[in-house]
A and B are shown apart, each in its own frame.
Chain A
Amino acid sequence: MRMSFRTKFIGSLFLIILVIFTAMGIYMTLNRINEVRGEIINNARMFVTLTSDKIGDAFVRYFKTAFFRFRAIVLEQKGLNIDLENIQIIDLTGRIHYDMAQYEQGVLFVEDSYSTDSFVLQNIKKMEMNIMVDDHLCVIVPYIDEYGIHNYSIVYHFTLKRMSNEVSKVVTGSIVMGLSMLLLSVVLAVIVSNRVTGHLAVVSKAAKEIADGDFNKVITIKTGDEFEDLSNAFNFMTEKIRENIRELNNLIEELKKRDIQKTHFLANISHELRTPLTASIGYVDYIKKEKMGALNPDQKHSLEIIHRNLERLNKEIHSLLLVSKYTLEGIKLKPEEIDISELIENVINNFTPEIRLKGLVIKKSFAKKELFGDKENIRTVVENLIGNSIKFSAPETAITITTDIENKENQEYFKFKISNYGATIPEDQIRKIFEPFYQVDATTSRKYGGIGLGLSIAQNIIEAHQGKIWAESREGLTTFYFIIPQGG
């Protein structure tokens, strides 16, 4: 479970305060117990010292002759101490002569009742004051009469109730105080954690914005504490990122510029190459057609070869020019309704010599005869695809060309498909063949000729038509497809 910083902060603060207050409560209680106990004992000691002689005298003088006078004196003394519970007068054998509590409760004094209290019995004969603290405070004081004889001891019983009262007061007090402190601290914790999480929220929001690409984000936390440090560190980081991105952008710009320069160079070079070709092809064609005199068969054959090679050169240069032009300017389309079956037939006708030479069979099936697109460009694509198929076909095999309509997501597509038998294009290279200057392997260009621009140009053109071109190749059957959206 994910706990927020806030929850953890408040929770731990709560626990710490609870522990502190419990400990403080226990300490204060113990302290107070000792205090009250000491107080009670001191009070008792003082009280006993002050009253024992008076009570002893009264007992000797009035107990038997004027009991009520004696009782009045005793009660008067008792009224002076709130903790006092009982006063007993006991002789040295342990016999109780007077028990205030019993008498005051209406129990008539029983002759010959003896104290069973072991502390009393042990200390009754001693000549000094003895104090015992148990569940109550018991003080034994010897009474020495005017003749110096110790016949009786006075036993005082003090209650410790005041102590437990005090304790419960202290406990209640510390609980009340603890709870109010706890409440206060939770409120404080919420405020502090709000402040913390508030600042953190600012930082995390900024981080998200930066992640979304807004690198100009600057956060301002002016608290003069770690949050300010954090925000400063954060701003420093984004500044660094900004710098790096600036550098990267500059680099990209530079690369783009160089790429454009290179493409310009390519365009110029192609153009320069084309000019000498014009005069060459022109003249070769002119001589070959015997416009400058009759030729013998050898001469004619040689010129045929020269002409073919010049045409090939011309085609490659044309591809280079096209690629550089598309790269620099993009493709401008002039779409129209094209009779695609006628266009395909026408292209196939132009390839007749190559088709015958390899002994290929072309199977055609045109389910869709029209296509809305740029005629010149579509022709280039079809020429490239058919030219490739012928080039890579094994001898004496068949090439299948079909056109069709395909409906996908309420959109009608024109679909062109061409298959041939020959080498299989490896899976990992089937996408790369559409990259400019790509040949499946270095030997391809030597074996089949061409500089690998045809498919790149085809892809440019099909994508300019919002279409898609792709290839599949398995077990020697290679198929190229393109689709172009129609209508609307």
Chain B
Amino acid sequence: MNKKILVIDDEDDILDFVERVLKDAGFVVYKAKDAKQGLTVLQTEKIDLILLDIMLPEMDGWQVMQMLKSEERLKKIPVAMLTARVDAYDKIIGLKEGAVDYICKPFTADDLLKRINDIFLYIEKNNL
């Protein structure tokens, strides 16, 4: 069965690009422009991976992450952070607390797919 990926980013064009690449690679893609839309998707769909932008309006990526980790049903879903590299640079350690990975903007299709494949491989190997 195809893996389901939820992308949360406030930029339409980035959502569009990520959706295109992931769809071409055979994933099922759900898009959300903010935390609220993302949570709506999470309530109905069983998501395998969340790509989460850090710079979001109203509630930022860190807060979203905390919320996900506080809910029993959602806390096992792996989260990869999308970030402008400089922002994430010194927060990698913090990331380890919740996120499985971080993907720096700007990224190419190859970067993105390789990271996502690595994440799923890692999850499979560790039976998470």
Contacts and interface: CB of A to CB of B under 8 A. Distances in A.
A274 interface: yes
Nearest to A284: B108
Given A276-B13, A286-B21, A321 B84 contact: yes
B86 A282 contact: no
Contacts of B87: 271
A446 to B, nearest CB: 26
Given A271-B84, A278-B105, A291-B109, 19 more contacts: A274-B105, A275-B14, A275-B84, A277-B105, A278-B106, A279-B11, A282-B14, A282-B18, A282-B21, A282-B107, A282-B112, A283-B17, A286-B21, A289-B109, A289-B110, A321-B86, A322-B86, A332-B90, A376-B89
14 contacts: A271-B55, A275-B11, A277-B106, A278-B11, A279-B16, A282-B14, A282-B18, A282-B109, A285-B110, A289-B109, A291-B109, A318-B86, A321-B86, A329-B90
Contacts of A285: 108-110
Given A278-B107, A281-B108, A286 B17 contact: yes
B24 interface: yes
A288 B14 CA distance: 18
B15 to A, nearest CB: 9
Interface of B: 11, 13-14, 16-18, 20-21, 24, 55, 84-87, 89-90, 105-110, 112
Which of A276, A279, A321, A322 is packed against the most chain B CB atoms within 10 Å? A279
- What 4 A-B pairs have minimum CB-CB distances, sorted nearest first? A279-B13, A278-B106, A285-B108, A321-B86
Contacts of B107: 278, 282
Interface SS of A by simple majority: helix
B66 to A, nearest CB: 23
B86 A279 contact: no
Contact of B20 (A276, A286, A289): A286
B105 to A, nearest CB: 4
A286 B106 contact: no
A115 interface: no
A88 B87 CA distance: 135
A97 interface: no
Contacts of B18: 282
Contacts of A281: 106, 108
Contacts of A282: 14, 17-18, 21, 106-109, 112
A291 B86 CA distance: 29
Contacts of B89: 325, 376
Interface residues of A, number: 23
A402 interface: no
A120 to B, nearest CB: 129
B72 to A, nearest CB: 34
A286 to B, nearest CB: 5
A314 interface: yes
A149 B84 CA distance: 151
Which of B17, B21, B89 is packed against the most chain A CB atoms within 10 Å? B17
Contacts of A275: 11, 14, 84, 105
A376 B87 CA distance: 14
Interface string A324-364: 01000100100000000000000000000000000000000
Interface in A257-315: 271, 274-283, 285-286, 289, 291, 314
Nearest to A321: B86
Contacts of B21: 282, 286, 291
Contacts of A314: 106
B119 to A, nearest CB: 19
